[in-house]
Amino acid sequence: MARLVAAMSGGVDSAVAAARAVEAGHDVTGVHLALSRNPRSYRSGARGCCSIEDAGDARRAADVLGIPFYVWDMSTEFADEVVDDFVAEYAAGRTPNPCLRCNEKIKFAAVLDRALALGFDGVVTGHYARLVTAAGSPSSEHTAELHRAQDAGKDQSYVLGVLTQEQLRHSHFPLGDSVKSDVRAEAARRGLQVATKPDSHDICFVADGDNAGWLAERLGPRPGTIVDEDGAVLREHDGAYAYTIGQRRGLRLGVPADDGKPRFVLDIEPVSGTVTVGPREHLLVDALEARRPLWCGTAPSDPLECTVQLRAHGAEHRARVEVEGDLVRVRLHDPAEGIAPGQAVVVYVGTRVVGSATITATARVEVGAGDGR
Amino acid sequence: MTSENSERAPAVYLDHAATTPMHPEAAQVLTEQLARTGNASSLHASGRAARRVVEESREVIAECLGARPSEVVFTSGGTEANNLAIKGLYWARRDADPARDRVLFSSIEHHALLDPVTWLASHEDARIDTTPVDRQGRVVVERLREQIEADPASVAVVTTMWANNEMGTVQPVDEVVALAQRHDVPVHSDAVQAAGYLPLDFAASGLDAMTVTAHKLGGPVGVGALLVRREVAPVPLVHGGGQERDLRSGTVGVALIAAFARALEITVERQAEVSARIERLRQRLVTGLVQAVPDAVVNGDPEPGPHHRLPNIAHVTFPGCEGDAMLMLLDAQGIEVSTGSACQAGVPQPSHVLLAMGYDDAAARGSLRLSLGHTTTEADVDRLLAALPQVHERAVTASLVRGR
C-alpha cells in the first residue's frame, strides 16, 4: 500500500484512475489543481480542466470514492512555467505544447515534489500510458519504463515523454491497459457523475478556444507581411503568432498562387514577423534538430533506429536518432510535413518511450524526384 | 469501497468558529418541533400554537441578549441579517436624505458584511470608507472619528463587528457607538462570533442593529436574527407576507427558531463557566504550541477578557509554512482546523484580515485558526500539540520545495 495523491481534474479519466488506486488498496488523497487565480476565466464545465465547475466535479468524485479531497493552488507556478512560456514561445515564432510543459513542470514536478514533501509516496493520474518495470509492476527499486497505452486512440505517452526516471518511479497510470469506452462504463458503474462528461480538448487556459485572439490580447498587434518563397509580399498581417507552420486555412491571400494550388505556411521569422507561404510539398522535412532532451532512463549512446512522434496524436515516423549532449539529431526515413520548431519530438523503441526533446530546426536533406526544390 | 473516516479515531474538532456542535437539548427541541404542523401566520388553533412557540422563543432570545422581543427579527442566518442591516439601513437613511451616501466599515469585517458593502458601492453608488485596524486587529477609533467628522451629514451607517472571526479580537463597539451617536449616525455590529462566548446586552450597547446566528452557539444552521431597535426601520430585502415587522417576509421556521432559543438559553446560562474553561484550554493550547514550534506567532490581542478577545479562538502564524498544507496533514490525523481565510473554488486566498493588520502575503498564507468550543477537552488540545511538531516540519519542507 502506498500513500498517493490522485490528481483529479474533474474529468472521467482521473476519477476512474483514483477509484482504481483506492481499489488496489492504496491510501489515496484527491487533489484538484487550481491553475488560475481567477477560475472563472478558464474553460468551463465540459471541455476544460481548471474551472470552478471542474473543481466541483472532482470534489463530487472524491466524495463518491470516500477519499479526502483538497484543492492545491498551483496558479503561480502554472502562470510562470506554462502560460508565460506559451506566450513567449509564440512570440518567438515557435509552436509550443503547453500540456507537455504542464506535465514536466507542474503535475510531475511541483505537485509531485509537494506530495513527497508532505509524506506521500507518489502521484496517480488518469493519463493513458503504461508503466512497466522489471518486476512487472511499478516500484521504486526497479527501472520504470513508460509505454504506449493499450488504447491507441487515447494514448497519451507523447505528453508524458518529458518525465524522468525519478518522476516515473513515483507515478501511477491505472488506465494504461484500458480503452476509453470501458473507462466510461466503469465510471457509470461506480456511480461517478462524470461518466458522460465530454473529453477535454484544446488548451485549458484559452477560455473560448480562440488561440490567435488570446495571444493577440497578450502580445498586442505586431504587424508583418505574408510573402511567397520569392519574397513577394502577398498581404500584411497583425501578428505572426496567429500562424502555425503547416497552416492552410485563414491565410486570406486573395489572389491564387500561379499554379492555382493551395498555399501553406512554410516558415515564420519572428523578428520581422515575416510569414512565408508556399506549396504543400515544400512543407516536407526529413531532418530535425532538437534541444533540451529529457530521457526517461539513460540517453542513447549510439545512433538509435527508432520511431518518433512529432505532435500529440500524430503519426509515428521511422527515424534514426543521434544524441550529442544537449543536441538531438533526427533523420526521418520518409519526409513528414507541418513540423514546427517548439513542438516536441518524442522517441520510441517499439511501444517504449525513450525520451523527448524540443524541436529547434527542420530541414529537407534528401530531395526526392519531382520535388521541385 | 471504504468510506472516509471509517477507520479513524474520533475527530478532534477545533473549528468551532465555523460551526459548533448542537446542544443535545436544542436538537431535541428541533426534532420535536419539526413534527408539528402549523403556520405561525394562520388564525386557527394549529397556527396559534405555532405562533406561540415562535413568540416564546423570541422572548427568550430577547431576554438573553438584552433586547425587547419586538426588536428580534428572525432571518435565515448571519449573512442575511448582515445584508438586511447594511443595505436596509443604507437605503432607509439615503431615502430620508440623499446626501447620506457613505458607509463606514472596518477593514476586518466578515465577507457576509464586506461583500454587501462593496455591492452597495458598485450598484447603489454608495461611497465606502474602510476603517483601519491596528496590529492586534482592533479598529482604530481615532481614524473612524476623522472619517465621520470629515463630513458627518453624509454618513448613512457605520458598522463594526463585535469580535473578529479570525483573530478573536474584540472591537471597541462602545466607543464606536458613542462617536456615531454624537452625529446621529446609526451603528450596526455583527456579533455572530461573540454571542456564544461573551455576555451581550443590546440595549446597553446603544447599537441600532446587531447580528446573531444560531449555529455558532449550539443551535441549528439556517436561522439567525437581526436585532433592530424599534425606532429604526431598515428597508426590507425580502418582500411578501409581511412577517417579522414587515422586515423579513416569509413563513417563519418554527422548529429552527425554537431550537435557536433553547441553544441561546443554554449558552447564556453556562457562559461564565464554559468561557472560563475554554479560556484555560486556549492558554494551554497557545503555551504548548509555542513550545512545540518556537517560531510560531500567536496573533491578535493576547490579553484575556471580554474587552480584549474571545476565549475560544487562537490564530497562529507559522513563518515559512503554508497553512493549507498543515490543515491537510492535521486532517489526515483526524484533527480539524481552519486556515481562517475565504476560499474561491477551494483556492485559499490570503486573509484580508491579516493583510489589514499589516501582515504580508506569506504570513497570511502560513496561518491557522484553531477555535475551541463547548465540547472541547484537554485531550483534544493535547492531541493537537502532539501532532504539531511533525506536521509543521513536513509543511515547512513542502513550502521549501515550492519556493525552489
Q: Is A99 a catalytic residue?
A: no
Grid cell locating A305: 533506429
Annotated catalytic, A296? no
| Domain parsing of chain A, residue ranges | 3-196, 220-373
Distant-in-sequence, close-in-space partners of B207: CB < 8 Å, separation ≥ 6:
B173, B177, B187, B188, B189, B227, B229
Cα–Cα dist B125/B102, whole Å: 9
Mean pLDDT of B132-155: 97
Put residue B336 in one of left, alpha, beta given phi > 0 → left and psi -120 to 50 → alpha: beta
- pLDDT band, residue A157 (cuts 50/70/90): very high
Asked if the model's pLDDT at residue B360 lies above 70, the reply is: yes
Quick one: A3-196 is in which CATH superfamily?
Answer: HUPs (3.40.50.620)
Q: Is B194 exposed, middle or buried (0-12, 13-18, 19+ CB in 10 A)?
A: buried
In contact, B197 and B173? CB cutoff 8 Å: no
In the 8-state DSSP scheme, what is residue A197? P
pLDDT value of position B365: 85
Find the mean pLDDT for residues A286-294. 96
Q: How far is A12 from chain B (nearest CA, A)?
A: 18
The structural architecture, per CATH, of the domain B12-21+271-403 is: Alpha-Beta Complex (3.90)
DSSP B308-369: TB-SSEEEEE-TT--HHHHHHHHHHTTEE-B--S-EETTEEPPPHHHHHTT--HHHHHTEEE
Q: Percent of chain B beyond pLDDT 90?
A: 91
- Is the predicted pLDDT of residue A200 greater than 50, yes or no? yes
Name the residue among B152, B223, B149 with its Cα closest to residue B192: B223
pLDDT of residue A251: 87
Per-residue confidence band for A44, with pLDDT thresholds at 50, 70 and 90: very low
Share of chain B above pLDDT 70, in %: 95
Per DSSP, the three-state class of A333 is strand
The model's confidence at residue A42, banded by pLDDT at 50, 70 and 90, is low
Residue B2 pLDDT grade (very low, low, confident, very high; cuts 50, 70, 90): very low
Which of A49, A99, A102, A306 is labelled catalytic?
A102
> Above 70 in pLDDT, residue A134?
no
Chain A neighbors of B401, CB-CB under 8 A: 110, 113-114, 116-117
B44 CB near a chain A CB, below 8 Å? no
In this complex, is the C-beta atom of B337 within 8 Å of any C-beta atom belonging to chain A?
no
Whether residue A48 has pLDDT greater than 50: no
* Residue A61 buriedness (CB in 10 A; 0-12 / 13-18 / 19+): buried
CA separation for the pair A226, B145 (Å, rounded): 66
Question: Residue B243 pLDDT more than 60?
Answer: yes
Min CA distance, A117 vs chain B (Å)? Answer: 5
Task: Check: CB of residue A11 under 8 Å from CB of residue A200.
Answer: yes
Place of cell 437613511: B93
User: What does the pLDDT read at residue B9?
Assistant: 60
Is CATH 2.40.30.10 correct for A220-373? yes
pLDDT of residue A364: 87
Chain A residue with minimum CA distance to B4? A66
Amino acid code (one letter) for A17:
A
Min Cα distance A321 → chain B (Å) is: 34
**Residue B358 pLDDT more than 70?**
yes
CA–CA distance, A120 with A184 (Å, rounded to integer): 28
Round to whole Å and give the CA distance between B356 and A331.
61
* CA distance linking residue A224 with residue A233, whole number of Å: 10
3-class state of residue A314 by DSSP: coil
Rounded Cα distance, A314 and A163, in Å: 19
Single out the catalytic residue among B99, B121, B343, B400. Answer: B343
Q: Is A353 helix (H, G, I), strand (E, B) or coil?
A: strand
- Among candidate residues A49, A204, A296, A306, the one labeled active-site is A204
Least confident segment among A277-281, A355-359, B131-135, B145-149: A277-281
pLDDT band, residue B341 (cuts 50/70/90): low
> Is the minimum CB–CB distance between B403 and chain A shorter than 8 Å?
no
Is B344 within 8 Å of A70 when comparing Cβ atoms?
no
Residue B398: list chain A partners with CB under 8 A. Answer: 114, 117-118
Which residue in B15, B32, B14 sits closest to B262, CA to CA?
Answer: B32
Q: Is A119 in Cβ contact with B394 (below 8 Å)? A: yes
CA distances from B61 to A265, B94, B201, B226, B227 (A): 76, 31, 11, 11, 10
pTM tops 0.80, yes or no:
yes
Regarding beta strands B209-213 and B187-190, do their DSSP bridges make them parallel or antiparallel, or are they unpaired?
parallel
The pLDDT tens digits of the residues spanning B262-290 come to 999 999 999 999 999 999 999 999 999 99
Q: Which of A208-217, B106-115, B335-344 has the lowest mean pLDDT?
A: B335-344
- pLDDT band of residue A372 (cuts 50, 70, 90) is very low
With CB atoms and an 8 Å threshold, state whether A118 touches B1.
no
pLDDT at B193: 98
Percentage of chain A beyond pLDDT 90 is 71
Contact B87, B116 (CB under 8 A): yes
Least confident of A25-39, A195-209, A274-288, B190-204: A195-209
Among the partner residues B328, B345, B402, nearest to A110 by beta-carbon distance: B402
Domain ranges of chain B: 12-21+271-403
CB atoms within 10 A of CB A31: 26
Q: Which residues of A touch B4 (CB under 8 A)?
A: 66-68
What residues of A are in contact with residue B404 (Cβ under 8 Å)?
Answer: 113
Work out the pLDDT band at B23, boundaries 50, 70, 90: very high
Task: Inspect the interface and report whether the beta carbons of B4 and A66 lie closer than 8 Å.
Answer: yes
Over chain B, what is the mean pLDDT? 94
Chain A positions touching B324 (Cβ under 8 A) are 70, 72-73
Q: How far apart are CA A308 and CA A322, in angstroms?
A: 12
Decide if pLDDT at B57 tops 70.
yes
Task: Classify A316 as helix, strand or coil.
Answer: strand
Q: What is the CA radius of gyration of chain B?
A: 22
DSSP A59-94: HHHHHHHT--EEEEE-HHHHIIIIIHHHHHHHHTT-
Interface residue of A27, A31, A67, A118 to substitute, partner B, most B CBs within 10 Å: A118
The per-residue pLDDT for B300 is 96
Q: Which tens digit of pLDDT belongs to each residue from A207-220?
A: 778 888 999 999 99
Q: Which of B4, B347, B398 sits opposite A114 (nearest CB)?
A: B398
Rounded to an integer, the average pLDDT of A272-287 is: 93
Q: Where are the alpha helices (DSSP H) in chain A?
A: 12-23, 52-65, 75-78, 84-91, 98-102, 111-117, 165-169, 180-189, 211-219
B11 touching A (Cβ < 8 Å): no
| Residue B394 to residue A32, Cβ atoms within 8 A | no
On chain B, the residues whose CB falls within 8 A of the CB of A114 are 325, 398, 401-402
At A228, phi and psi to the nearest 5?
A: -90, -175
Question: Which ranges of B97-187 does DSSP label H, i.e. alpha helix?
Answer: 111-123, 141-150, 173-181
Q: What number of CA atoms fall less than 13 Å from residue B105's CA on the CB side? A: 30
- Residues from chain A that touch B402, judged by Cβ atoms under 8 A, are 77, 110, 113-114
The span from the CA of B131 to the CA of B230, in Å, is: 28
pLDDT higher than threshold 90 for residue B168: yes
Query: Are A317 and A309 a contacting pair, CB within 8 Å?
Result: yes
Residue A250: the pLDDT is: 84
Residue A261, number of CB atoms within 10 A of its CB: 12
